[in-house]
Structure 1
Amino acid sequence: MRKKYPVEVISHSKQLVFVPADLTNNKEINKIAFGNKVVDVTCAPHPKGRNVVVLSNDVQKELSMPDLSTSLHIFIDQHTLFIGPLIGILTSGFTPFPLRPIGERSMFFAKLLSVNKSVGALPFVFGEEHIDWDQGLIEGYFFVDGGWMKIKVPFPNVVYDRLPNRRTERKSELRSMKSRMQTDYLIPWYNPGFFSKLDVFERLQQDERAVEYLPETHQFSSFTVIERMLSNYGNVYVKPANGSLGLGIHQILFDKHNGYYYCRYRDQEGINKLTKFESLEKLMQKVFYKRNLSQMIVQQGISLLRSEKRLIDFRVHTNKDEYGQWQVAAIAAKIAGQGSVTTHVNNGGVVKSLDELFEDRTERELCEKKLSEASLLLSSILEKNMEGIIGEIGFDLGIDKSGRVWLFEANSKPGRSIFKHPKLKNFDLLTRKLSLSFGIFLAEKAITAPEDIFK
C-alpha cells in the first residue's frame, strides 16, 4: 500500500538516506530515485524511529530535488526507493512576466498546483522550451507560498498534457518532444490530444452499451441527409467537427405546416439570430456560404428538458483517481440564454447546481443517478477505444422529456466555466485533486508494472 511521508534534508556528505521506520524491507534499498534521476546511497532506518525520509544534502543535490517541505509518496522496486511523484504539466503560451508566467491561465495553473500537499505529489508547469536535453533537466514553474518560482528538476515521472488548443498540439517541435519523452525515457503521458466530435461517436458506436446514448450524427455529405433528418426529428444541429465553446453551432428547424426552414445561430457580432427561408438550399447558401461544410457534422435534434422555456443540458466531469478508477467529479446544469442555440455561458447561458434546478429531491437524485451511470459507462468505453492514456473527460449530456439521457459531446480537456458558480467550488477542488492523484497512480504503475502502460 502506497503511503505519504515527510521529506527532510540534513547537512551531511556521505550519500546517506534514512528511511521511515515502518518500511520493513529497507535493508534491501541501495538506490534512491526522484523523477528520472537515480543515485547510489547507503540506507538505514531512521535512528529515532520516525516515519520520515531524510536525505543528506549531497543526495538532494545529485537528485536535483527542490527543498520544498512537503510529504511525498514512496514506491520501492528493485532495491530502489522512489520519492515523488514528480508530475510535469505541459502547456504553452509562456510570458516574460514573473507574476503571470502563463498569461491569463496562470491562475488556473496556480490553483492546480496548490493541491500538491493534500495529494502528496510535486507538480510543476513547463513548456517545450524549458527542457535541457543534454543535462536531463527541466526548468519548471512551481507555485510556492503564493508565488511562482523557477526551479531546475529532473525529467518527471509522468506528464499531464494541458496544451491549450489543437493548433499548438500540431506543432512539430511539440510532437517531436512528446515522442522523445515517451520513447527514450518511457514517461507516461496522460490526456493527450483533443477529441474530434465525429471520432468520439464512431468509437462509441463500436460498443452496443453506448449506442442508446448517441443521437444520430454524421459528417456533412449532402443536403439530402439534412432533409431526411429534419423529416425524422423536426430539427438538427450543424456544428464544427473540431469546435469548442459553442462557436459555430447552428440549429435548423423545419415547420411541416407552412413548409418554411428556420436557422437559429449566433452571428459574428455575438447576436442570437433566428432567420426564415423558403428552402433548405437558400438557408445553406445564405448562412453557411463562408464555411467549409466538409468540416461540419449534422446531429439529431432532441426535445430536451426545459426551465422557463429555455433548454437545459448538463456538464459532467469524470476523472480517474489514485487507484485508476473512474469517478464522477462534478455535475452542473446549464440553461440556455434567451434565443440562444447553446447553453454556453458566453452565449448568455446560466450555470445552476442540481439542487437549484430541481426542488423535488427524488427528481434530483434520479437525474444525478442517470447522468452518473451514463458518464461512468461512456468514460470506460472511450478509454478502451481511444489512443493514449485518458485521465479526465467532460461530457455534455442532455435528458429528453421522456427521461432518456443523450450524449452531445465528450471533451478531453474540458473547460472549467461551471466552477465559477459558488455552489460548485468543492467540485472544482475535487477535479484538481483527482487530476494529480491519477498521476500518482500512473507513476507507480510505470515503476512497478510498466508492461501495463507501455503495451
Structure 2
Amino acid sequence: MKLRSYMLQKSGREPNTVYLPYTFDNIQSLKYISFGTKIIECDVRADSLSDNTISIGQEIIADLKLPFLTPIHVFVYEETIVIGPLIGIFTAGFTESSLRPIGERSLFFANLLTAKDDTKAYLFAFGSHQINWKEGTITAYFYNEQRWVQHEIPFPHVVYDRLPNRKTENHRAIARVKERLQHEYLIPWFNPGFFNKWDIYRCLQKDEAAVSYLPETHRFTSFEQIEFLLSKYGHVYIKPINGSLGSSIYQVRYDFEENEYYCRYRDADGNKLRKYHSLEYLINHLLSRYNLETFIVQQGISLLRINGQPVDFRIHTNKDRHGYWRMSAIAAKIAGQGSMTTHMNNGGDVKSLDEIFPDPVERESVLQKLTTAVLLLSESIDTHLDGCIGEIGFDLGLDKTGKVWLFEANSKPGRSIFHHPKLKESDRLTKELFLEYALHLTEKSLFSPEELFQ
C-alpha cells in the first residue's frame, strides 16, 4: 500500500470537525478518526485550500489524546481515518527521575526514540506501571527536544519489546501485560521473547540449508559426551542455554601431548586460563555451582585471526516496510588478550569490515558470504518460531578455510557496536527499519489481522 504523510494542525473552526485535504478520496464516507486504540465519531469535511494538511478540532485532539501535532502517516480503513503508527517500546526499570526515567538505560532509549523528522511515527517508552487498564491509557515517556516528557495517550498500534533480561521477562506481572495487550486488545507485539540457544539450534536443524552453518551442539549429559567432542574437535565450548554477554562461557581444550585439559573463562577478576589433570576435576572445580543440565556443549571452531587474536562478526538483520529481511549492520569483533570470546565486556574490540579486510575483493567476498548466511538464518528462525520477529543480532564466525559458522542469535541485540564512528549509518538504518516494520504491522493489524492473530 502506498502511504502519504500529512501535517496535523489544530483547527480554528468547528471543534469537533476534521478537515481533510481535497485530494482525499470518498471524504463523504468517512465518519470516524482514530489514534492507537482510541476511536471517536466526528464530522469530516474537505478543505479546498490544502493538499497536505489535516486540520483537527480541539475537542477531537483532546478526546484522541494526541500528545502533540507532527507530520504523520494517515491510513483510511473503512469509514475511519487512522493516524499513526503509535509505537510503544515496552521495558522495565523505571525510576522517579525526570532526567533519567529508565535509570542507566535512559540514554539507550533516548537514542532509540530519537527519530528523524521524516520518520512519521509517534514513538514512546512505557512499562507495566504506566498502564491504566480502566481508562485504556498509558502514561507514556516521549523524548522530544533533548528532554523526557510524559503524555497520557491511548494504547498503541504496535509494541516493540525491549525488556532488559529474562528474569524480568518471566515476572508474572510482565507476562500478564503482554498477554492482555496481545490477546484482549489484538496489539501486535514484536520481538516477544529472548531466544534460547538450544531452541534456536533445534529449529535450525529442521532447515537443510541452515544446518551447514551449525557447529555440532548437544545438551550437556555427561563427562563422556565432552570427552567425545574433544576427541573430534580438540576444543569445545560449554555455554548456558539462556546466557548473554558472554557470561559463564567456558572453553575447554585437550592437549594430546601433555594429556592435560586447559580451560579459559572469565570471572570477576578478569580472563583466566587454568590447567587440569582430568576433565572431571575441571568440571567439578569450575562448574559445580551450576545446574549443567541447563548448559550446552558446542564444537570448537578454529577462527580466523587478526594480529593473532580470534575474530567473529556481529550482524544485525531487520524486517523492512514490506516484512522482508534485510542485513542492516555488520561489524568485526576481535577478542581481547586472554579472552576466548569477542564480547566487549571481556576486552573485545569492534572494527569495521574495511579495517580488517583492506583488500576490497576479499572484503566483498566476506560480506557476501555473511549476508547470505544471515538472511537465510533469519528466514529459517522466523519460519520456525512463533510471534512477530522483527530483528535479530547474529554472532557468526569464519574458520581458517573461510567457512561460515553460527555461534548465537539474539532477539534483543545490544547496540554497543554502533559506538564505532564508521557504524553511525548502520545505527540510523537499524532504527529506520524497526520503524518500518512497526508500520508494516500496523497495516497488517488493520487490513489483514488474520495473518497476525491466528
User: What TM-score range do you get, normalising by the shorter chain?
Assistant: over 0.9
- State TM-score, norm by structure 1: 0.98
Counterpart in 1 of 2:333?
A: 334
Offset of residue 45 of structure 1: 2.2
Counterparts of 1:309 and 1:21, CA distance in 2: 67
Counterpart in 1 of 2:422?
A: 423
| SS state at 1:436 partner | helix
Work out whether 1:306 is the aligned partner of 2:305: yes
Residue type of the partner of 1:370? K
Work out whether 1:11 is the aligned partner of 2:12: yes
Counterparts of 1:313 and 1:231, CA distance in 2: 24
Counterpart in 1 of 2:240?
A: 240
Percent of aligned pairs sharing the same letter: 51
Counterparts of 1:315 and 1:147, CA distance in 2: 31
Offset of residue 224 of structure 1: 1.1
Counterparts of 2:55 and 2:113, CA distance in 1: 24
Residue type of the partner of 1:319? N
Counterparts of 1:421 and 1:146, CA distance in 2: 22
| SS state at 2:386 partner | coil
Work out whether 1:140 is the aligned partner of 2:140: yes
Counterpart in 2 of 1:212?
A: 212
Counterparts of 2:442 and 2:340, CA distance in 1: 43
Cα deviation digits, residues 263-303 of structure 1 (max 9, x gap): 11112312x22111121112112221222211111100011
Offset of residue 14 of structure 1: 4.3
Kept in 2, the 8 Å contact 1:12–1:57? The answer is no
Counterparts of 1:296 and 1:289, CA distance in 2: 12
Offset of residue 261 of structure 1: 1.1
Counterparts of 1:20 and 1:412, CA distance in 2: 41
Cα deviation digits, residues 129-157 of structure 1 (max 9, x gap): 11111111111001111111110000101
- Out of 416-425 and 428-437, give the one that drifted further: 428-437
Runs of 4 or more above 4 Å deviation? none
Counterpart in 2 of 1:29?
A: 30
Counterpart in 1 of 2:65?
A: 64
| SS state at 2:453 partner | coil
Offset of residue 173 of structure 1: 1.0
Offset of residue 204 of structure 1: 0.8
Counterparts of 1:116 and 1:99, CA distance in 2: 22
Q: How does 1:318-333 map to 2 (within 5 A)?
A: 318-333=317-332
Offset of residue 305 of structure 1: 0.4
Counterparts of 1:197 and 1:151, CA distance in 2: 39
Q: How does 1:294-443 map to 2 (within 5 A)?
A: 294-443=293-442
Counterparts of 1:239 and 1:209, CA distance in 2: 25
| SS state at 1:112 partner | helix
Counterpart in 1 of 2:221?
A: 221
Distance 1:413 1:396, change over 3 A: same
Q: How does 1:142-221 map to 2 (within 5 A)?
A: 142-221=142-221
Offset of residue 116 of structure 1: 5.6
Residue type of the partner of 2:375? L
| SS state at 1:322 partner | coil
| SS state at 2:39 partner | strand
Counterparts of 2:41 and 2:351, CA distance in 1: 55
- State TM-score, norm by structure 2: 0.98
Offset of residue 42 of structure 1: 1.6
Counterparts of 2:281 and 2:175, CA distance in 1: 43
Counterpart in 2 of 1:120?
A: 120
Cα deviation digits, residues 77-97 of structure 1 (max 9, x gap): 111110111111111100111
Cα deviation digits, residues 219-278 of structure 1 (max 9, x gap): 1110111111101101000111111111111110111222111111112312x2211112
Counterparts of 1:51 and 1:300, CA distance in 2: 59
| SS state at 2:437 partner | helix
| SS state at 1:363 partner | helix
Cα deviation digits, residues 390-411 of structure 1 (max 9, x gap): 0000000001111111000000
| SS state at 2:81 partner | strand
| SS state at 1:100 partner | coil
Counterparts of 2:376 and 2:359, CA distance in 1: 26
Structure 1 gaps, min length 5: none
Counterpart in 2 of 1:52?
A: 53
Offset of residue 49 of structure 1: 3.1
Counterpart in 1 of 2:253?
A: 253
Cα deviation digits, residues 387-440 of structure 1 (max 9, x gap): 211000000000111111100000000111111111111111111121222111
Offset of residue 321 of structure 1: 1.3
Work out whether 1:231 is the aligned partner of 2:231: yes
Kept in 2, the 8 Å contact 1:12–1:58? The answer is no
Counterparts of 1:130 and 1:448, CA distance in 2: 29
Kept in 2, the 8 Å contact 1:34–1:83? The answer is yes
Structure 2 gaps, min length 5: none
Offset of residue 118 of structure 1: 2.5
Offset of residue 22 of structure 1: 2.5
Offset of residue 218 of structure 1: 1.0
Kept in 2, the 8 Å contact 1:395–1:410? The answer is yes
Counterparts of 1:181 and 1:12, CA distance in 2: 36
Cα deviation digits, residues 324-382 of structure 1 (max 9, x gap): 11111100000001110100111111100000010110110111111111111111110
Counterparts of 2:372 and 2:379, CA distance in 1: 11
Residue type of the partner of 1:49? S
| SS state at 2:111 partner | helix
